[in-house]
């Protein structure tokens, strides 16, 4: 019996190093998403729109807006501001845009990466702005768009937390002289939601919703480019 137990333990110990050293093939920061597209960028973009699924779907629904304005879309669905910060060098700094338009925070409120304090979400966005400025890129901070329910996290009630995060973003932008783009106020219903015509799933804008955002963003970017 002892011999059997010792043999079993030896087999377990032999297998442990192999298991622990097996690489996990997860592109945590999403570096692979835009790697090929980035290598094909030849001219300096006027702006990179940087964010999560809201930015990703924006390009997918209205790529003509991006092309007409010499903008690049660099959004990845599901990303928190922590994930965005990880790829900021590759998907913003190395593209050398004149402006970076930062729209993130929805997935932090949704706790996609686990619970996070709003001050730390703000900290991530501060870091992006500081990195941009060091590299001669003008940062623009966008409000998080309205949402009072996440269809993938029905247990959360995000409306008030989004407002609180936007207050922090606005205060920081004002204190640093950074342009703040407010999508939230003109797109919000009294209960903190977006009208269905602007977001059929309650969170991600429709084409009409994006057109409202475009009408707000474009003049801000144009004024910074002058």
As a whole number, mean pLDDT of residues 164-183 equals 99
On whether residue 9 sits in a domain, the answer given is no
Question: Is-contact 169 122, C-beta < 8 A?
Answer: yes
Number of independent structural domains in the chain: 1
On whether residue 27 sits in a domain, the answer given is no
On whether residue 122 sits in a domain, the answer given is yes
Domain range spanning residue 204? 32-225
Name the band, by pLDDT with cuts 50, 70 and 90, for residue 80: very high
pLDDT, mean over the chain: 91
CATH code of the domain covering residue 134:
3.40.50.1110
Sorted by sequence, the CB contacts under 8 Å of residue 84 that are 6+ apart come out as: 50, 51, 52, 76, 102, 104, 124, 128
pLDDT digits (tens, 9 = 90+) for 45-78: 999 999 999 999 999 999 999 999 999 999 999 9
On whether residue 183 sits in a domain, the answer given is yes
Name the band, by pLDDT with cuts 50, 70 and 90, for residue 81: very high
On whether residue 8 sits in a domain, the answer given is no
Question: Of all residues in the chain, what percent carry a pLDDT higher than 90?
Answer: 85
């Amino acid at each position: 019996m002892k011999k059997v137990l010792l043999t079993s333990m030896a087999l377990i110990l032999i297998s442990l190093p192999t298991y622990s050293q097996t690489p996990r093939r997860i592109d945590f920061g999403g570096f692979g998403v835009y790697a090929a597209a980035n290598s094909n960028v030849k001219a300096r973009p006027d702006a990179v729109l940087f964010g999560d699924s809201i930015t990703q779907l924006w390009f997918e629904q209205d790529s003509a807006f991006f092309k007409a304005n010499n903008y690049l879309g660099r959004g990845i669905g599901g990303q928190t501001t922590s994930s965005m910060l990880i790829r900021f060098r590759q998907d913003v700094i190395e593209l050398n845009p004149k402006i970076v338009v930062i729209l993130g925070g929805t997935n932090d409120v949704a706790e996609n990466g686990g619970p996070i304090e709003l001050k730390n979400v703000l900290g991530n966005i501060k870091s992006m702005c500081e990195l941009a400025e060091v590299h001669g890129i003008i940062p623009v901070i966008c409000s998080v768009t309205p949402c009072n329910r996440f269809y993938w996290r029905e247990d959360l009630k995000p409306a008030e937390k989004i407002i609180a995060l936007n207050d922090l973003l606005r205060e920081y932008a004002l204190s640093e002289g950074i342009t703040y783009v407010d999508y939230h106020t003109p797109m919000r219903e009294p209960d903190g939601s977006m009208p269905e015509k602007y977001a059929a799933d309650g969170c991600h804008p429709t084409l009409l919703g994006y057109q409202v955002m475009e009408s707000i963003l474009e003049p801000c970017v144009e004024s910074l480019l002058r």
